[in-house]
Amino acid sequence: EAGVTQFPSHSVIEKGQTVTLRCDPISGHDNLYWYRRVMGKEIKFLLHFVKESKQDESGMPNNRFLAERTGGTYSTLKVQPAELEDSGVYFCASSQVRSSGWPLSYNEQFFGPGTRLTVL
Amino acid sequence: TQLLEQSPQFLSIQEGENLTVYCNSSSVFSSLQWYRQEPGEGPVLLVTVVTGGEVKKLKRLTFQFGDARKDSSLHITAAQPGDTGLYLCASPQGGSEKLVFGKGTKLTVNP
């Protein structure tokens, strides 16, 4: 079974340009998450989709970031216009929808390899 | 937002040595997950601990959850070069599904 895939693996752009990151979750996983790790900092949550709906976007830094998940399959994260502080590694993760009574703690998230974004 | 403090930040040891890394919080964890991340890859879940005082073993790795569920440790016995990587602790925040991560401990095991 294929894991979570992300594209591209690396992206180098100039300040002010637009970049779109893509995530393909594990087939059948309705939950899809985006996280980001900025250099020297911890991995931080950005947002959570359940199918095509945004369940929680409390971690999105500002309105330059737009995430979509049309059709509830793959997701894209667009940064427009990119700023220097947007540099970092963007991770996508997916998980199954928890069954009723299934503890939250056992809802394993499977992470992709990340996209390393460098804004010059 | 709950903060997870991991220590040490870096650890470099020789093959065969034992080591312990720590994850602490000022708040009670609902549960605590340990991940390992290798270069160019995403974090991979090693274990989830839920109950205070819980101990879980995964081959040479022993995970312990503090009685008060505010701290956790990962002990590796007879470390091998293949154990090299970034060890992260994480916890679901406030009943939601979003994970809060520590900064990690970067472990290097030299042959």
| pLDDT tens digits along A66-112 | 999 988 899 999 999 999 999 999 999 999 876 655 555 567 899 99
Percent residues over pLDDT 90 in chain A: 83
CA distance B43 to B40: 10
The label of the residue with tokens 């989830």 reads: B48
Q: What is the pLDDT of residue A101?
A: 56
Of A9, A58, A111, the CB nearest to B43: A111
Q: Torsions phi, psi of B58, nearest 5?
A: -135, 90
C-alpha distance from A59 to closest chain B C-alpha (Å): 9
Q: ∠ CA A62-A68-A69 to the nearest 5 degrees?
A: 150
The per-type count for chain B, helices as H runs and strands as E runs, is: 0, 11
Contact: B104, A35; criterion CB under 8 Å: no
The structure tokens listed for A56 are 């929680």
Q: What is the pLDDT of residue B93?
A: 83
Which residues, 6 or more positions from A110, have their beta carbon under 8 angstroms from its beta carbon? Answer: A3, A4, A26, A29, A93, A94, A95, B45
CATH code at A5-96+109-115:
2.60.40.10
Which residue in chain B is spatially nearest to A58 when comparing CA positions? B98
| One CATH from 1.10.357.10, 2.40.10.10, 2.60.40.10, 3.40.50.11860 for B5-110 | 2.60.40.10
| Domain assignments of chain A as residue spans, ordered by start | 5-96+109-115
CA distance A55 to A50: 6
CA distance A61 to A46: 8
Q: Residue A109 corresponds to which amino acid?
A: Q
| Domain assignments of chain B as residue spans, ordered by start | 5-110
**Residue B111, exposed/middle/buried by CB under 10 A (0-12, 13-18, 19+)?**
exposed
Average pLDDT, chain B: 93
Q: Torsions phi, psi of B83, nearest 5?
A: -85, -10
pLDDT digits (tens, 9 = 90+) for B57-103: 999 999 999 999 999 999 999 999 999 999 999 998 877 788 999 99
Percent residues over pLDDT 90 in chain B: 79
Chain B contact present for A41, CB below 8 A: yes
Contact: B41, A113; criterion CB under 8 Å: yes
Residue B111 has pLDDT above 80, yes or no: yes
